[in-house]
Amino acid sequence: MSEKPDEVMVIVNHYRQDLKRLMIEKGICYLRAGDSTGSILVTPGFERMQYVLLHTGGEDCHLFRLKTRENFQIWTKETLEKYGFHPEHSSYYVVLHFDNAKEIEFIRHPYLKQKINSYRAKIRPLSDFIGID
């Protein structure tokens, strides 16, 4: 991915249908943090995150704007449980709060099916999803 220092970025991640539904209801997206398998890596573009895209195996995609751009929190498993989630794979999670009242329409349906990579969190440019340059 070529680096454009002012490009708006999206965190893209797969969730089971029931978990994705709860995340949309609460306006909370979480990803594993720390040294557990599947933890999110902070890579170039992470500091420009302004959106979250939730999907299930590359299908049923939902795009939302973060409530506070370029901002995330680290929560414990126990804190997520207080919000009705049941995380199983890590003690710590990166948490993103998004505006669940304003889903963003796609100009073109995103292609997210990439075999095993469909299920890994990644950071991609917003222009990949809503057709802006």
Paired residues of 63 in beta bridges: 53, 104
- The overall pTM is greater than 0.75: yes
| Domain boundaries of the chain, sorted by first residue | 9-60+67-119
Number of other residues whose CB lies within 10 A of the CB of residue 79: 16
Distances (CA, A) of 67 to 28, 71, 97: 10, 9, 6
Please report the pLDDT score of residue 80 as a whole number.
97
The pLDDT tens digits of the residues spanning 12-58 come to 988 999 999 999 999 999 998 877 666 676 777 778 889 999 999 88
